[in-house]
Amino acid sequence: MPEQKPMTGLFLADGSLALREDLPHPERPGEVLVQVRKVGVCSTDLALARGYMGFQGVPGHEFVGVASNGPFAGQRVVGEINAACGQCDWCARDLGRHCPERTVLGILNRSGAFAERLSLPAENLHPVPPEIDDDTAVFLEPLAAAFEITEQVSLSSHRRALVAGDGRLGLLCAKVLALHGLDVVVAGHHPERAELLPKNATIEKDLLDGKPRGRPFDLAVEATGKPEVLAQLVPWVQPRGTIVLKTTAERPAPLDLAPVVVDEITLVGSRCGQFPPAIEAIRSGQVSVAGMVAARYPLSESPAAFQRASQGGLLKVLVDVST
């Protein structure tokens, strides 16, 4: 392969974001080089910019691009973000997302998507059907994370769900739970966003600030990223109910475990998910992300995109790398 030129991208170092034009070529031996088209600003990206995990490098993991080589050469692709070793016991159990030697796109020891190119193993990539446009494809990674709940929790045994957070991930989780027949209440601050949800999902403003009227929910999902919210959810969940933790928090979560034990509440940590269910849900029209893009920036203005996203009060900020 001919020597590749340096690339342009957003680089995070010592808490500072800067656009650079001298970034090294990201391809790794045996992997697929992807020409990035669009990438979304995620809450994890914002946390990394604040110093979470001490990450330095190119952030970004919600992307769509075109594969330059490998089995999907010339096709639009999205990618699972955990690149596993493929040799350990966890990988043998098809749990590469928990491989102790894994790298994570734009998060852990791997250059991410806020750049002209990225590199991932071929097994991480999924072709994007023609029915799904680039804007929508950027949502496939967080939607896959929302679908992870369906693999970990038997939704057929739950009827009413509470989702804490009406941001990007909270809305996607609500859509997935509603798709599976649950009545969903989202505790948030933006009741106007209820128009983005299906009929069996609603938003109640500042719900968690009040006292629960009984124990109305048998399932709750924490999607705010605020560690104190976990304790707020416990009194809303019925005995033997389930609380799913969908976000990592930058600070420890204070929690009195006595009610969890007394009420036999199950706590489920939930992270990344499989892409095929998310892709099919979008392709078939079962889940829509229409109306969730709030702002767009070219790569040359990506620091401004981060600044805008960090101000809160809006949904997805996209960066167009291909222009």
pLDDT average, residue stretch 64-83:
97
- Report which of residues 3 and 215 the model is more confident about: 215
Is the pLDDT score of 236 beyond 90? yes
CATH topology of domain 7-139+292-320: Quinone Oxidoreductase; Chain A, domain 1 (3.90.180)
Q: Is the pLDDT of residue 52 over 90?
A: no
**pLDDT tens, 293-311?**
999 999 999 999 999 999 8
**Half-sphere exposure for 47 (CA within 13 Å, toward CB):** 15
Per-residue confidence band for 104, with pLDDT thresholds at 50, 70 and 90: very high
Question: What does the block give as tokens for 113?
Answer: 């998507």
What is residue 153's predicted lDDT score, i.e. its pLDDT? Answer: 96
Instruction: For the chain, give every domain's residue range.
Output: 7-139+292-320, 143-269
Which of 134, 79, 126, 68 is closest to 103 using CA atoms? 79
Joined tokens for residue 37: 């088209």
- In this prediction, residue 56 carries a pLDDT of 93
Whether the per-residue pLDDT at 233 is higher than 90: the answer is yes
Tell whether the model's pLDDT for residue 278 goes beyond 90.
yes
Residue 1 has pLDDT above 50, yes or no: no
Provide the β-strand partners of residue 148: none
The rounded mean pLDDT for the chain is 94
Quote the radius of gyration of the chain (alpha carbons, Å).
20
In 3D, which of 125, 123, 144, 168 has the Cα closest to residue 278?
Answer: 144
User: What is the average per-residue pLDDT within 54-78?
Assistant: 96
Alpha-carbon distances of 15 from 5, 53, 55, 108, rounded to whole Å = 27, 11, 9, 16
239-259: average pLDDT: 89
Q: How far is CA 24 from the centre of its chain?
A: 26
The pLDDT value recorded for residue 3 is: 62
Mean pLDDT for 145-173 is 96
In the predicted structure, residue 250 carries a pLDDT above the cut 90: no
CATH topology of domain 143-269: Rossmann fold (3.40.50)
| Model confidence band, residue 161 (pLDDT cutoffs 50, 70, 90) | very high
Burial class (CB in 10 A: 0-12, 13-18, 19+), 308: middle
Kindly state the average pLDDT of the residues 37-60.
93
**113-155 pLDDT, tens per residue?**
999 999 999 999 999 999 999 999 999 999 999 999 999 999 9
| Model confidence at 2: pLDDT above 70 | no
Largest CA distance in the chain: 67
Distance (Å) of CA 255 to CA 130, 228, 260, 270? 46, 8, 9, 18
Write the CB contacts of 260 (distance below 8 Å, at least 6 apart in sequence).
234, 267
